[in-house]
Protein backbone atom coordinates (compact mmCIF):
# COMPACT_ATOMS: atom_id res chain seq x y z
CA UNK A 1 0.00 0.00 0.00
CA UNK A 2 1.77 3.10 -1.30
CA UNK A 3 0.43 5.52 1.31
CA UNK A 4 1.73 3.45 4.21
CA UNK A 5 5.12 2.76 2.61
CA UNK A 6 5.57 6.46 1.90
CA UNK A 7 4.69 7.34 5.49
CA UNK A 8 7.18 4.79 6.82
CA UNK A 9 9.91 6.36 4.68
CA UNK A 10 9.07 9.92 5.73
CA UNK A 11 8.12 9.48 9.40
CA UNK A 12 9.46 6.05 10.37
CA UNK A 13 12.85 5.59 11.95
CA UNK A 14 15.21 2.63 11.86
CA UNK A 15 16.55 2.47 15.42
CA UNK A 16 18.82 -0.47 14.72
CA UNK A 17 18.52 -4.12 15.82
CA UNK A 18 15.50 -4.48 13.57
CA UNK A 19 13.46 -1.96 15.54
CA UNK A 20 11.29 0.29 13.39
CA UNK A 21 9.92 3.33 15.19
CA UNK A 22 6.49 4.28 13.89
CA UNK A 23 5.38 6.16 17.02
CA UNK A 24 4.40 9.22 14.99
CA UNK A 25 1.54 7.57 13.10
CA UNK A 26 0.83 4.07 14.49
CA UNK A 27 2.17 3.26 17.96
CA UNK A 28 1.85 6.33 20.19
CA UNK A 29 0.48 9.06 18.00
CA UNK A 30 -1.96 7.59 15.49
CA UNK A 31 -3.04 9.08 12.17
CA UNK A 32 -6.73 8.14 12.05
CA UNK A 33 -7.12 8.82 8.32
CA UNK A 34 -4.17 6.58 7.50
CA UNK A 35 -5.46 3.93 9.88
CA UNK A 36 -8.87 4.07 8.24
CA UNK A 37 -7.28 3.69 4.80
CA UNK A 38 -5.23 0.73 6.04
CA UNK A 39 -8.33 -0.87 7.55
CA UNK A 40 -10.16 -0.42 4.26
CA UNK A 41 -7.26 -1.99 2.34
CA UNK A 42 -7.12 -4.98 4.68
CA UNK A 43 -10.91 -5.38 4.55
CA UNK A 44 -10.72 -5.36 0.75
CA UNK A 45 -8.12 -8.10 0.74
CA UNK A 46 -9.89 -10.32 3.27
CA UNK A 47 -13.51 -9.49 2.42
CA UNK A 48 -14.24 -12.71 0.50
CA UNK A 49 -13.18 -14.92 3.43
CA UNK A 50 -16.37 -14.28 5.38
CA UNK A 51 -14.73 -13.41 8.69
CA UNK A 52 -17.24 -12.99 11.52
CA UNK A 53 -14.78 -11.46 13.95
CA UNK A 54 -11.44 -9.64 13.98
CA UNK A 55 -9.01 -10.66 16.72
CA UNK A 56 -5.99 -8.61 17.80
CA UNK A 57 -3.79 -8.01 20.83
CA UNK A 58 -3.71 -4.88 22.93
CA UNK A 59 -2.25 -2.32 22.66
CA UNK A 60 -0.97 -1.34 19.27
CA UNK A 61 -3.09 -3.81 17.35
CA UNK A 62 -6.29 -2.07 18.40
CA UNK A 63 -6.26 0.81 15.91
CA UNK A 64 -5.71 -1.21 12.70
CA UNK A 65 -7.98 -4.02 13.91
CA UNK A 66 -10.76 -1.56 14.71
CA UNK A 67 -10.69 0.07 11.30
CA UNK A 68 -10.46 -3.29 9.51
CA UNK A 69 -13.42 -4.58 11.51
CA UNK A 70 -15.32 -1.38 10.75
CA UNK A 71 -14.93 -1.87 7.01
CA UNK A 72 -15.78 -5.58 7.27
CA UNK A 73 -18.81 -4.80 9.41
CA UNK A 74 -17.90 -7.25 12.18
CA UNK A 75 -16.90 -6.89 15.86
CA UNK A 76 -13.28 -6.83 16.98
CA UNK A 77 -11.92 -8.52 20.10
CA UNK A 78 -8.61 -7.45 21.55
CA UNK A 79 -6.79 -9.97 23.71
CA UNK A 80 -5.93 -8.47 27.09
CA UNK A 81 -2.48 -8.75 28.64
CA UNK A 82 -3.85 -8.57 32.18
CA UNK A 83 -7.19 -9.97 33.24
CA UNK A 84 -9.63 -7.16 34.12
CA UNK A 85 -12.03 -7.54 37.03
CA UNK A 86 -14.94 -7.60 34.60
CA UNK A 87 -13.76 -10.88 33.06
CA UNK A 88 -15.09 -14.25 34.22
CA UNK A 89 -12.80 -16.76 35.94
CA UNK A 90 -12.83 -19.20 33.04
CA UNK A 91 -10.72 -17.66 30.28
CA UNK A 92 -8.54 -18.56 27.33
CA UNK A 93 -4.94 -17.70 28.12
CA UNK A 94 -1.71 -18.26 26.25
CA UNK A 95 1.85 -17.02 26.60
CA UNK A 96 3.68 -15.24 23.81
CA UNK A 97 7.32 -14.16 23.88
CA UNK A 98 7.61 -10.46 23.04
CA UNK A 99 10.71 -9.60 21.08
CA UNK A 100 10.49 -5.84 21.65
CA UNK A 101 9.59 -6.20 25.33
CA UNK A 102 12.24 -8.84 26.01
CA UNK A 103 9.84 -10.96 28.05
CA UNK A 104 6.83 -13.23 27.81
CA UNK A 105 3.37 -11.66 27.88
CA UNK A 106 0.00 -13.23 28.59
CA UNK A 107 -2.75 -13.00 26.00
CA UNK A 108 -6.22 -13.44 27.46
CA UNK A 109 -9.62 -13.71 25.78
CA UNK A 110 -12.98 -14.24 27.42
CA UNK A 111 -15.00 -17.20 26.09
CA UNK A 112 -17.97 -14.80 26.04
CA UNK A 113 -16.65 -13.18 22.87
CA UNK A 114 -14.94 -16.00 20.99
CA UNK A 115 -17.08 -18.98 20.08
CA UNK A 116 -16.58 -22.15 18.09
CA UNK A 117 -18.71 -20.93 15.21
CA UNK A 118 -16.54 -17.87 14.61
CA UNK A 119 -14.45 -17.27 11.49
CA UNK A 120 -11.56 -15.24 12.86
CA UNK A 121 -9.39 -12.75 11.01
CA UNK A 122 -6.26 -11.89 13.00
CA UNK A 123 -4.96 -8.33 12.55
CA UNK A 124 -1.91 -6.73 14.15
CA UNK A 125 0.29 -3.73 13.56
CA UNK A 126 3.45 -5.78 12.95
CA UNK A 127 4.18 -9.22 11.57
CA UNK A 128 7.75 -9.80 12.72
CA UNK A 129 8.68 -13.04 14.49
CA UNK A 130 5.02 -14.03 14.32
CA UNK A 131 4.93 -15.05 17.99
CA UNK A 132 2.13 -12.67 19.04
CA UNK A 133 0.01 -13.69 16.07
CA UNK A 134 0.69 -17.36 16.79
CA UNK A 135 -0.51 -16.73 20.34
CA UNK A 136 -3.73 -15.26 18.94
CA UNK A 137 -4.08 -18.33 16.70
CA UNK A 138 -3.82 -20.57 19.78
CA UNK A 139 -6.54 -18.55 21.54
CA UNK A 140 -8.83 -18.88 18.53
CA UNK A 141 -8.13 -22.61 18.31
CA UNK A 142 -8.75 -23.04 22.04
CA UNK A 143 -12.17 -21.51 21.47
CA UNK A 144 -12.78 -23.95 18.61
CA UNK A 145 -12.95 -21.06 16.17
CA UNK A 146 -11.56 -21.11 12.64
CA UNK A 147 -8.74 -18.75 11.70
CA UNK A 148 -9.39 -17.58 8.14
CA UNK A 149 -6.59 -15.07 7.63
CA UNK A 150 -3.77 -13.04 9.10
CA UNK A 151 -3.17 -9.39 8.28
CA UNK A 152 -0.63 -6.81 9.38
CA UNK A 153 0.21 -3.23 8.59
CA UNK A 154 3.95 -3.81 8.44
CA UNK A 155 5.85 -7.04 7.91
CA UNK A 156 9.52 -7.44 8.68
CA UNK A 157 10.08 -10.38 6.36
CA UNK A 158 13.62 -10.96 7.65
CA UNK A 159 12.25 -12.06 11.05
CA UNK A 160 10.57 -15.13 9.64
CA UNK A 161 7.01 -14.73 10.92
CA UNK A 162 5.46 -15.67 7.59
CA UNK A 163 7.32 -18.96 7.56
CA UNK A 164 6.21 -19.71 11.12
CA UNK A 165 2.57 -19.09 10.19
CA UNK A 166 2.66 -20.84 6.80
CA UNK A 167 1.44 -24.16 8.23
CA UNK A 168 -1.89 -22.51 9.07
CA UNK A 169 -2.67 -22.60 5.37
CA UNK A 170 -4.51 -19.26 5.44
CA UNK A 171 -3.89 -16.04 3.49
CA UNK A 172 -1.30 -13.75 5.10
CA UNK A 173 -1.39 -10.14 3.94
CA UNK A 174 0.79 -7.19 4.94
CA UNK A 175 0.34 -3.68 3.61
CA UNK A 176 4.07 -2.89 3.70
CA UNK A 177 6.76 -5.57 3.61
CA UNK A 178 10.24 -4.57 4.75
CA UNK A 179 12.94 -6.96 3.62
CA UNK A 180 16.05 -5.25 4.96
CA UNK A 181 16.78 -2.97 7.90
CA UNK A 182 20.53 -3.52 8.10
CA UNK A 183 22.88 -0.54 8.36
CA UNK A 184 20.09 1.99 8.89
CA UNK A 185 18.23 1.03 5.73
CA UNK A 186 14.49 0.61 5.25
CA UNK A 187 14.10 -1.51 2.13
CA UNK A 188 10.70 -2.66 0.92
CA UNK A 189 10.24 -6.03 -0.76
CA UNK A 190 9.57 -5.71 -4.47
Q: Which residues form the interface with a second copy (CB under 8 A)?
A: 13, 15, 19, 21, 23-25, 27-33, 35-36, 58-59, 62-63, 66-67, 69-70, 73-78, 80, 84-87, 100, 109-110, 112-113
| Distance of closest approach, residue 166 Cβ to a second copy, in angstroms | 29
Whether 91 and 24 have beta carbons less than 8 Å apart is answered as no
- Complex with a second copy: residue 154 or 165, whichever CB lies closer: 154
- Complex with a second copy: residue 46 or 165, whichever CB lies closer: 46
- Complex with a second copy: residue 9 or 19, whichever CB lies closer: 19
- Complex with a second copy: residue 67 or 174, whichever CB lies closer: 67
Whether 131 and 137 have beta carbons less than 8 Å apart is answered as no
- Complex with a second copy: residue 67 or 132, whichever CB lies closer: 67
Q: Give CA–CA dist 189/131, Å, rounded.
A: 21
122 class by beta-carbon count within 10 Å (0-12 exposed, 13-18 middle, 19+ buried): buried
| Distance of closest approach, residue 169 Cβ to a second copy, in angstroms | 27
| Distance of closest approach, residue 15 Cβ to a second copy, in angstroms | 6
Within 8 A by CB and 6+ apart from 111, the residues are 88, 90, 91, 92, 143
| Distance of closest approach, residue 65 Cβ to a second copy, in angstroms | 9
CA dihedral 176, 3, 15, 27 (to 10 degrees): -90
Whether 103 and 134 have beta carbons less than 8 Å apart is answered as no
- Complex with a second copy: residue 27 or 157, whichever CB lies closer: 27
| Distance of closest approach, residue 70 Cβ to a second copy, in angstroms | 4
| Distance of closest approach, residue 152 Cβ to a second copy, in angstroms | 17
Q: Give CA–CA dist 157/162, Å, rounded.
A: 7
Q: Give CA–CA dist 34/153, Å, rounded.
A: 11
Amino acid sequence: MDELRLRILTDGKNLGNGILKVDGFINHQVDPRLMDACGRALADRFGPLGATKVLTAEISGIAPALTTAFHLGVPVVYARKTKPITMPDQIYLTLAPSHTKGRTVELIVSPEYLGQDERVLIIDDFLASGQTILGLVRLAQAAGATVVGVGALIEKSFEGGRTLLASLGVPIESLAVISDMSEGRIVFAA
